[in-house]
Structure 1
Amino acid sequence: MAKSSADDEELRRACEAAIEGTKQKVVMSIRVAKSHGIWGKSAKLGRGQMAKPRVLAISTKAKTQRTKAFLRVLKYSTGGVLEPAKLYKLKHLSKVEVVTNDPSGCTFTLGFDNLRSQSVAPPQWTMRNVDDRNRLLMCILNICKDVLGRLPKVVGIDVVEMALWAKEHTPTITKQLVNLQDGPVEAGMTEGDMKVTVERELVSQAEEEDMEALLGTYVMGISEAEAFSERLKRELQALEAANVHAILENEPLVDEVLQGLDSATNCVEDMDEWLGIFNVKLRHMREDIESIETRNNKLEMLSVNNKSLIEELDKLLERLHIPSEYAACLTGGSFDEARMFENIDSCEWLTNALCSLEVPSLDPSYADMHAVREKRAELEKLKTTFVRRASEFLRNYFASLVDFMISDKSYFSQRGQLKRPDHADLRYKCRTYARLLQHLKSLDKNCLSPLQKAYCSSLNLLLRREAREFANELRASTKASRNPTVWLEGSTGSSQNVNNQDTSTVSEAYAKMLTIFIPLLVDESSFFAHFMCFEVPVLVPPGGLANGKEGGMNDDEDGNDDDLGIMDLDDNDNKAGKSAADLEALNESLRDLLDGIQEDFYAVVDWAYKIDPLRCISMHGITERYISGQKADAAGFVRLLLDDLESRISMQFTRFVEEACHQIERNERNVRQVGVLSYIPRFATLATRMEQYIQGQSRDLVDQAYTKFVTIMFVTLDKIGQADPKYADILLLENYAAFQNSLYDLANVVPTLAKFYHQASEAYEQSCTRHINMIIYYQFERLFQFARRIEDLIYTITPEEIPFQLGLSKVDLRKVVKSSLSGVDKSISAMYKKLQKNLTSEELLPSLWDKCKKEFLEKYDSFAQLVAKVYPSENIPSVTEMRELLASM
């Protein structure tokens, strides 16, 4: 047999040279013939289907974790040198099929699952003989099994036949077919070393022995499938017949089992009958036991209920019993201070007794019992009697307390002695009956309204008497000279000196009135709210007006022992019954308690206004401080009183401002006025005084007055100026200058006055400009009139044409210059004298003269520029000469 091309070393080296650089090792190389055919049909020979010589090479590439295997197709180039043509990865090999059209079996195809077009027939590889074919296919299958762990599908060739062929040709298989996981073959090994045995075959030894035994068993009929199938059927029928025979032989044993089952069934039926009998007897016995237990339970329940009924009746009788000492105290006991403990104790018992007979505390089944209804009616009668007696006593008691205090004149302010009201003893005596009032409210809340009216009526007389006597003595003991309200009138007199007198005692007296009575009224309101059991949100603590007081005069006697303060709404003490209705009722009662006392505060305000109207500013600031110190819902009447006082003070001050404005307006009715008007310096004095009186937040009040004053002052000044237009600018500039000079210091610290200061400054500049222009044109009218005509024409015609216009020739220019500037020093002196002539404020003359010279120089400079442009050949005095002349004047 000819040597296989698989053993051709030259061919292998040629293949390795062709794939040099790919790091792949050639395992086998063999020559084949490549041809194409159509699937399912024999290939027709043609030009494109002629067999072509190719070399198939199986190569491997070792990686770190696995080995990759490839199938390479190499072709011969023009020079007979092998070069790579195709590369297939064996991991994609899915089918090996021997072509059945080739009778020799040497032609096969290899199917890969990653080819793009499966519709094109794969190439057919034809070997020289079957041994070469088997050798290549065995090499491919071994590599797939060892490297990839799987075998492709083999079609058209028997695997057993392949295994037998491999076993027969084991000595001729080289090491390339051995397990490739042991690594590539070393290049230095000899040909004898390359001969190895097949360690891994397609069929294992055990499988081969089983197959041989099976084939040996049926060797007689293996060649004919039908005979083999008939033999298997006969053996199957023989086995089934043997199974049936075995079953029939066991029939006696089955009969014995059935007999045993019948006897067992009879025993079970007998036992079930006996159990039914026992069950009926047990049921009857259980019914008897339940009947006995039911009768026994009823007897026990009856005994327990009787015992509980006796206990409940005892408790009910205890509730219905009225102790004789309580009944006597409620119907005819005394309300003296020494007996108040007994009265309170009786009230508590009566309250609890009434509650115990109501449905929440009493079982609803008892509520309609005759005895309970009778006892409830008796308790209601006791309650009505006690409430009537206690209410009558308290009404008389409040009136007697106040009458006793009013009858004692030493209790009030007297001539030469201011008496601070002291209600400590009054409140102490009232607190004796505070708990009684709380019990009266719980017994009958409707009885409190008459008591509240009686208390308010009695105490209102006391408070009004105290305020009247205190206010009268306060005004009588305050020494202050009266300042007239004629502040800004036009006539001059000694009133200016009177205005400088100190009237601070007036505002101090008003502050003392507030300091004494506002805390007193707030404390009285708080005491009344708590004493008369108003359940309202609390507003201020006792003596809570400390922030609004002056002189530190706190109500020490009351502040330490009165737990009657009303806290702020935010400090919720979780009292029940807080409602808007209670708060409204409280405010109504406080109005009855304090109404009328405001007249004495008004009298102090009016008295202070008559002495010094400017003291309204101080009083306004004092009132604002007290308002800010009050809570929004404190004693409601006190808040209203302070708001009314603030409104009255504002009204009085507005009255003063209106009168002062009227005095300013009277100035315009006089005959021609010159110089600084009288109300300008008087306003500066007034503003200085007003700034001294500002306290607290009175800034808005004063700023509004400033706005009214200055507005009227400026309007009046303009009207006076319009009455004499010839001297209007002199009057305006002098008065605006005086306004600025007198208010310079105040304008630096008072924003409102600063605004009017700047307004006066602008008006002053405008008046100065108009007056100076008038004086300049009076002396140099022809000169600047000529310049104005040139300016009018220069916008319409060229400068060269102007000298040819009528009245603007060079001769006309010379005449105007000669007439106006020939005695210019005398004309400038005349300007100065005219400026000085009508000016009454000599201190303004230097600044006005400087403005006049500056304005004249600017006008002359403009004239000189026009002459130089229109009459370049004419000579006039230069601007420098004119500046030097003005400087020397």
Structure 2
Amino acid sequence: MAKSSADDGDLRRACEAAIEDTKQKIVMALRVAKGHGILGKSSKLGRQMAKPRVLALSIVGDDVVFAAAKSKGQRTSAFLRVLKYSTGGVLEPAKLYKLKHLSKVEVVANDPSGCTFTLGFDNLRSQSVAPPQWTMRNIDDRNRLLLCILNICKDVLGRLPKVVGIDVVEMALWAKENTPAVPAQNKVRDGGPVASSVVRETELKVNVEKELVSQAEEEDMEALLGTYVMGIGEAEEFSERLKRELQALEAANVHSLLESEPLMDEVMQGLEAATSVVEDMDEWLSIFNVKLRHMREDIASIETRNNNLEMQSVNNKSLIEELDKLLERLRVPSEYAASLTGGSFDEARMLQNVEACEWLTSALRGLEAPNLDPSYANMRAVKEKRAELEKLKSTFVRRASEFLRNYFASLVDFMISDKSYFSQRGQLKRPDHADLRYKCRTYARLLQHLKSLDKNCLGPLRKAYCSSLNLLLRREAREFANELRASTKASRNPTVWLEGSSGSGQNVNATDTSTVSDAYAKMLTIFIPLLVDESSFFAHFMCFEVPTLVPPGGVVNGNKTGYDDDDDDLGIMDIDENDSKSGKTSAELEALNKSLKDLLDGIQEDFYAVVDWAYKIDPLRCISMHGITERYLSGQKADAAGFVRDLLRDLESRISMQFNRFVDEACHQIERNEKNIRQMGVLSYIPRFATLATRMEQYIQGQSRDLVDQAYTKFVSIMFATLEKIAQTEPKYADIFLFENYAAFQNSLYDLANIVPTLAKFYHQASEAYEQACTRHISMIIYYQFERLFQFARRIEDLMFTVPPEEIPFQLGLSKMDLRKMLKSSLSGVDKSIATMYKKLQKNLTSEELLPSLWDKCKKEFLDKYESFAQLVAKIYPTETIPSVAEMRDLLASM
């Protein structure tokens, strides 16, 4: 067979170096191109680029071993190797196929050159993946490779794979043409076909492939065909001849079969014996199968029972552990039971009592969901234990509540019986509850646990504490208020401020009653922080969920509370850290304020007594007390100090009521002035109001002005109304009376009006009323003295609306002659008329200091009116002459 350019010794040596296996020998190596196609379809041109590969056929052992193996019928291993080129151009193994698994050789039909084929192996894991397609350089290389593969399969494996797309006869003819004569050929002794040995190319330098049809067979076939060449045209004769030969062959076959009958009988007997043995074996196997099935069932049953026992053992162990835990939870320690049922509540025993409470609380909580599994809830032992714990709880709560009620009462009784706790004659005693709170705080944690055990027990305890401490607080406030009033030295001021007597106002101004408001301030300074602290202490001591009111030693409206001892109430906040400080609710606040009312109710009466006492001494001190109360009220922001805020509001309301009472009485004194029919000059309440306002401003001291401004408004409104009523009794002198009093009001309040907005408003109102009264009075005097002059001018002005100016001199009573007569009677001796006008202005005027300003207003008013008259005369009577305005101005200036 001619050597291909694709197969050479260097390529085979490179392949042997690549596989590194000395036992395997490379028979043939060819360069190919590897391509891929879809399963069941050939790949399209250009679908995927072909890759260069080398296909090598290898066998295990050398040529001698291979030939011996063929002659002895031994199986020899043969492989198809795929090698690829690495990046350096060196061959390296890529795939390895065993030829014994080769099942199909197929030439791709879509390749017109016929150089592309696929190799199918029956041991591939995934048959869904299309096998690779191998493309040779030419048909000769394809035939050489496929012929070598088929010869190896026939000689080594004893079978041929299925060949698709290749004509075997064409392949044999090609092998004959391309195979040179080989000197060494062996025949099989038993008449079998002659097989050519596979000789290494290194020895013969030619590649001899095993022929599909031997040369002898081929010669016989040619001789046979030559025999029938001449008669091939006689179809019927040829057919008959073939039938006869076929019958002869069949007869020969039947004869040979009959000759082999003894052998067949011997074989049949052997088959029968084997059948009997097989039947016996099948019976034994069925028996063994039944026994094995029973054994499997027994084993499964044993395993099931074993698993159940193991599971039962585990469950029993877990159950014992759970029961131990449950029994431990249900056990009541004897020392706790003794403390809960019959222990003492002395201070030394409180630690044991608290520990017992904590255990009882946790035990009760442990028997409730979700701490206790719901499946345990209906157990008899759990129910009995829960009932036992409930009985312990009720017994302890009853004993503790009874002890605390008696304890609160005994503490307060002890303090009330000792007079040194209260204010005495000549000595004011500030209430000190530090010892009381210290003793109460001993039982604060007990109250916390009582709340967690039974919230309903706190109601009676709160009432007992409030009723006991209320007696103490009221006694302290009463004794303090009595001694405060007794020790305050202040002379009583009369309440008659604005009546007509002359001496009372001076006495009032000289009296100092500041000690009265100082006493009230001291009462608030001592007791308001005390009440706030008591409210805060009570809220936390009695387990109300409210925030702290005032910190210990805190400041209330700039004043130190005074209750900054280490034994203050804030220690209670640390009793139960789990309490929510911000969890207050409206219901809690309502209950707290209701309890605070029981705690502090009645103490307001002593504050009211101090307010009433201060009012009797000096009603104006209500202003100072009102400001003091406002300062304290603005500092009470906490919701839990509701009673203290209400107390301060009540005090503020009472102070306002007393002050309004004083204002009403003063207004009544003002109104009594209108009963005097003859009133001349400045009324007495005008300057007295200025004195009163000055004193009131001194008492305000920078506080809210609402109370004083309301009093000012009421005072001035009554004063002005009364002034107007009195003026109406004498219309002739009404304007004089009005402007004198309005002027006195302005003069007396000038300084205060600059700093008090409310008084400034009334000052301007009085100024307007003064100007109006002055204008009316001056106009009356001017018209009285120069009546004909200004009546003549008024008639001219009235006619100017309907009559042209040039026709007015022809009207009746307005001729030039009438004008001359009027001027002669009015302006002759005008200096005397002006002097008479001055005397009338001076007459009936009680406030001489007003005369200069009034006379100036009068001259100015007269001059303005005369100037208007002169303009009318110049317009209506241009030829007439009258005294000029300048002459009249000089005359007025000289007087």
TM-score with structure 1 setting the length: 0.66
Q: What residue ranges of structure 1 are gaps of 5+ in the alignment?
A: 1-243, 258-272, 567-571
Match for residue 488 of structure 2? 478
Aligned-partner residue type, residue 842 of structure 1 = E
Match for residue 578 of structure 1? 584
Aligned-partner residue type, residue 548 of structure 1 = N
Kindly state the Cα deviation for residue 321 of structure 1 after the two structures are TM-superposed.
2.2
Figure out how many residues of one structure are paired with residues of the other and give that number: 619
The structure 2 residue matched to 1:556, chosen from 557, 564, 577, is 564
Match for residue 467 of structure 1? 477
The structure 1 residue matched to 2:419, chosen from 399, 403, 409, is 409
Secondary structure of 1:768's aligned partner: helix
Q: After the TM superposition, which residues 635-784 of structure 1 pair with which residues of structure 2 at under 5 Å, given as runs?
A: 635-695=641-701, 697-784=703-790
CA distance in 1, matches of 2:890, 2:676: 46
Aligned-partner residue type, residue 340 of structure 1 = M
Q: What residue ranges of structure 2 are gaps of 5+ in the alignment?
A: 1-163, 174-211, 213-281
Aligned-partner residue type, residue 670 of structure 2 = I
The structure 1 residue matched to 2:370, chosen from 360, 374, 386, is 360
Secondary structure of 1:563's aligned partner: helix
2:444–2:572 Cα contact (<8 Å) kept: no
Kindly state the Cα deviation for residue 284 of structure 1 after the two structures are TM-superposed.
9.6
CA-to-aligned-CA distance 1:271-302 (integer Å, 9 cap, x gap): xx9xx999999999987776554443322222
Aligned-pair RMSD on alpha carbons? 2.9
Kindly state the Cα deviation for residue 488 of structure 1 after the two structures are TM-superposed.
1.3
Kindly state the Cα deviation for residue 611 of structure 1 after the two structures are TM-superposed.
1.1
2:532–2:549 Cα contact (<8 Å) kept: no
Seen in structure 2, the aligned counterparts of structure 1 residues 632 and 386 have a Cα distance that, compared at 3 Å, is closer
CA-to-aligned-CA distance 1:597-620 (integer Å, 9 cap, x gap): 111111111111111111111111
Aligned-partner residue type, residue 713 of structure 2 = T
Aligned-partner residue type, residue 450 of structure 2 = L
Match for residue 627 of structure 2? 621
Residues 1:603 and 2:612 are matched in the alignment: no
The structure 1 residue matched to 2:453, chosen from 420, 440, 443, is 443
CA distance in 2, matches of 1:784, 1:625: 65
1:736–1:764 Cα contact (<8 Å) kept: yes
Kindly state the Cα deviation for residue 249 of structure 1 after the two structures are TM-superposed.
6.5
1:542–1:563 Cα contact (<8 Å) kept: no
Aligned-partner residue type, residue 341 of structure 1 = L
Match for residue 67 of structure 1? none
Match for residue 438 of structure 2? 428
2:539–2:592 Cα contact (<8 Å) kept: yes
Kindly state the Cα deviation for residue 721 of structure 1 after the two structures are TM-superposed.
0.6
Match for residue 428 of structure 2? 418
Match for residue 539 of structure 2? 529
Match for residue 10 of structure 1? none
Q: After the TM superposition, which residues 184-203 of structure 1 pair with which residues of structure 2 at under 5 Å, given as runs?
A: none
Seen in structure 2, the aligned counterparts of structure 1 residues 430 and 559 have a Cα distance that, compared at 3 Å, is closer
Match for residue 14 of structure 1? none
CA-to-aligned-CA distance 1:821-851 (integer Å, 9 cap, x gap): 1111111111111111111111111110000
CA distance in 1, matches of 2:166, 2:583: 104
CA distance in 2, matches of 1:617, 1:280: 119
Residues 1:883 and 2:892 are matched in the alignment: no
Residues 1:855 and 2:861 are matched in the alignment: yes
CA-to-aligned-CA distance 1:80-121 (integer Å, 9 cap, x gap): xxxxxxxxxxxxxxxxxxxxxxxxxxxxxxxxxxxxxxxxxx
2:441–2:572 Cα contact (<8 Å) kept: no
Match for residue 873 of structure 1? 879
- State percent identity of aligned pairs: 84
Match for residue 129 of structure 2? none
Match for residue 153 of structure 1? none
Match for residue 127 of structure 1? none
Aligned-partner residue type, residue 447 of structure 1 = C
Match for residue 176 of structure 2? none
CA distance in 1, matches of 2:567, 2:874: 94
Secondary structure of 2:882's aligned partner: coil
Match for residue 519 of structure 2? 509
Secondary structure of 1:617's aligned partner: helix
4+ runs deviating over 6 angstroms: 244-253, 276-289
Kindly state the Cα deviation for residue 475 of structure 1 after the two structures are TM-superposed.
1.0
1:802–1:808 Cα contact (<8 Å) kept: yes
TM-score with structure 2 setting the length: 0.66
Aligned-partner residue type, residue 546 of structure 2 = V
Aligned-partner residue type, residue 687 of structure 1 = A
CA distance in 2, matches of 1:876, 1:668: 49
1:320–1:375 Cα contact (<8 Å) kept: yes
Match for residue 234 of structure 1? none
CA distance in 1, matches of 2:892, 2:581: 91
Q: After the TM superposition, which residues 303-314 of structure 1 pair with which residues of structure 2 at under 5 Å, given as runs?
A: 303-314=313-324
Match for residue 396 of structure 1? 406
Kindly state the Cα deviation for residue 248 of structure 1 after the two structures are TM-superposed.
11
Kindly state the Cα deviation for residue 633 of structure 1 after the two structures are TM-superposed.
1.0
CA distance in 1, matches of 2:336, 2:633: 51
Residues 1:519 and 2:529 are matched in the alignment: yes
Aligned-partner residue type, residue 512 of structure 2 = D
Aligned-partner residue type, residue 392 of structure 1 = E
CA distance in 2, matches of 1:497, 1:738: 22
Seen in structure 2, the aligned counterparts of structure 1 residues 564 and 645 have a Cα distance that, compared at 3 Å, is farther
CA distance in 2, matches of 1:326, 1:584: 37
2:441–2:569 Cα contact (<8 Å) kept: no
Q: After the TM superposition, which residues 349-388 of structure 1 pair with which residues of structure 2 at under 5 Å, given as runs?
A: 349-388=359-398
Secondary structure of 2:639's aligned partner: coil
CA distance in 1, matches of 2:753, 2:300: 112
CA distance in 1, matches of 2:660, 2:623: 11
Kindly state the Cα deviation for residue 874 of structure 1 after the two structures are TM-superposed.
1.9
CA-to-aligned-CA distance 1:351-398 (integer Å, 9 cap, x gap): 222222334322222222222222222222222221111111111110
CA-to-aligned-CA distance 1:615-659 (integer Å, 9 cap, x gap): 111111111111111115131111111111111111111111111
Seen in structure 2, the aligned counterparts of structure 1 residues 362 and 488 have a Cα distance that, compared at 3 Å, is same
Kindly state the Cα deviation for residue 322 of structure 1 after the two structures are TM-superposed.
2.1
Seen in structure 2, the aligned counterparts of structure 1 residues 681 and 506 have a Cα distance that, compared at 3 Å, is same
Aligned-partner residue type, residue 467 of structure 1 = A
CA distance in 1, matches of 2:591, 2:530: 21
1:331–1:386 Cα contact (<8 Å) kept: yes
Secondary structure of 1:422's aligned partner: coil
Match for residue 203 of structure 1? none
CA distance in 2, matches of 1:279, 1:829: 165
Kindly state the Cα deviation for residue 785 of structure 1 after the two structures are TM-superposed.
1.0
Secondary structure of 2:461's aligned partner: helix
Match for residue 319 of structure 1? 329
CA distance in 1, matches of 2:431, 2:737: 60
CA-to-aligned-CA distance 1:304-359 (integer Å, 9 cap, x gap): 22222222222222222222222222222111111111111221222222222334
Seen in structure 2, the aligned counterparts of structure 1 residues 323 and 360 have a Cα distance that, compared at 3 Å, is same
Seen in structure 2, the aligned counterparts of structure 1 residues 873 and 436 have a Cα distance that, compared at 3 Å, is same
Match for residue 636 of structure 2? 630
CA-to-aligned-CA distance 1:219-251 (integer Å, 9 cap, x gap): xxxxxxxxxxxxxxxxxxxxxxxxx99979789
2:437–2:568 Cα contact (<8 Å) kept: no
1:622–1:696 Cα contact (<8 Å) kept: no
Kindly state the Cα deviation for residue 799 of structure 1 after the two structures are TM-superposed.
2.5
Seen in structure 2, the aligned counterparts of structure 1 residues 743 and 282 have a Cα distance that, compared at 3 Å, is farther
CA distance in 1, matches of 2:289, 2:768: 128
CA distance in 1, matches of 2:630, 2:537: 25
